[in-house]
Amino acid sequence: MTEKPDDESREHEPSEKKIADAIERGDTPVSRDLALLGSLLGVYVALVVLHHAGIADGVVALALPIGRLWDIRVGNGGDAAGIVFAIGPAIGDVLAKIILALFLTSALVGAGPQRPRVVWRRLRVDWSRLSPRAGVSRLFGRKGLAEFAKSLVKILVATVIAGAVVKNVVMGLSGGGYRDVRDTGVEAVRALEKIAVAVSLMTLCFAIGDFVLSRLEWRK
């Protein structure tokens, strides 16, 4: 009969074999906030790219046709295509850079420190684990309520911090007088960058705390 591990044995670091087996199964410490952090950093990098990829030129490319609406005639498909070809390159170049930056950053950060891999064990359907009673117990049990409380605290903290940052940014944008259309676009992107940085730092703190708790649970 196998003896239950004592408390002292739980304090030791897991063996190399245990670590290798856990990695093979995909049972490693994770943070649910890491994927969110990757998305937020992707948004921030995309905003930085937008800021430095000629946003002023893009705004001007859109503003010029709008300012000369009386001089634009759309009588057939050729006229519409001409408008698209006139403003398309300036906008398409910026959008392509933004999408690429968003995808690469989100994928790299969201994957975490380990290389992405397919764990077939988790993809295979295990019908024996489909239990409504176990699902309800997991949702309303001790761990489920603890996760709910932790998520609620995160939402409250995020709301307070994001609200303070947004209020500060709005006050900064509302001051001053007349602005050129190019300057307005740049200032708006800078404001979004500040919000993205604040939310990303907050999510990073959440991810670190979640990873530490997951690590402690994994060692047991």
Domain ranges across the chain = 28-114+133-215
For the cut 60, the answer to whether the pLDDT of residue 106 exceeds it is yes
pLDDT of 70: 60
Contact between 122 and 26 under an 8 Å Cβ cutoff? The reply is yes
Mean pLDDT, range 83-106, rounded to an integer: 73
Q: What per-residue confidence (pLDDT) applies to 18?
A: 62
Report the alpha-carbon distance of residue 135 to residue 143 in Å, rounded.
12
The set of residues, in sequence order, having a beta carbon less than 8 Å from that of 110 and lying 6+ positions away, is 34, 35, 37, 38, 39
CB-CB contact of 181 with 59 (8 Å): yes
Report yes or no: 196 and 46 within 8 Å, Cβ to Cβ.
no
How far apart are alpha carbons 157 and 149 in whole angstroms?
Answer: 12
- Among the residue ranges 2-11, 100-109, 114-123, the one predicted with the least confidence is 2-11
Cβ-defined contacts of 13-17 (< 8 Å, 24+): 13/219, 14/219
State the chain's mean pLDDT as an integer.
70
More confident residue, 110 or 165: 165
C-beta atoms surrounding 186 within 10 Å: 16
Pairs from 58-65 (Cβ < 8 Å, separation ≥ 24): 58/90, 58/91, 58/94, 58/185, 59/181, 59/182, 59/184, 59/185, 60/181, 60/182, 61/86, 61/87, 61/90, 61/91, 62/87, 62/91, 63/181
Cα–Cα distance, 218 to 22 (Å, whole number): 10
What are 15-37's pLDDT values in tens digits? Answer: 566 656 655 555 666 677 777 78
* Residue 120: pLDDT over 50: yes
Distance CA 72, CA 170 (A): 35
What is the rounded CA–CA span in Å between residue 203 and residue 157?
10
33-52 and 77-111 helices, crossing angle to 10°: 140
* Per-residue pLDDT, 183: 65
Hey, what are 6's tokens?
């004592």
Cα gap 15→82, rounded to integer Å: 67
Cα separation of 42 and 26, whole Å?
A: 25
The answer for residues whose C-beta is within 8 angstroms of residue 31's C-beta and 6 or more apart is: 112, 206, 207, 208, 210, 211, 214
What is the pLDDT averaged over residues 53-71? 59
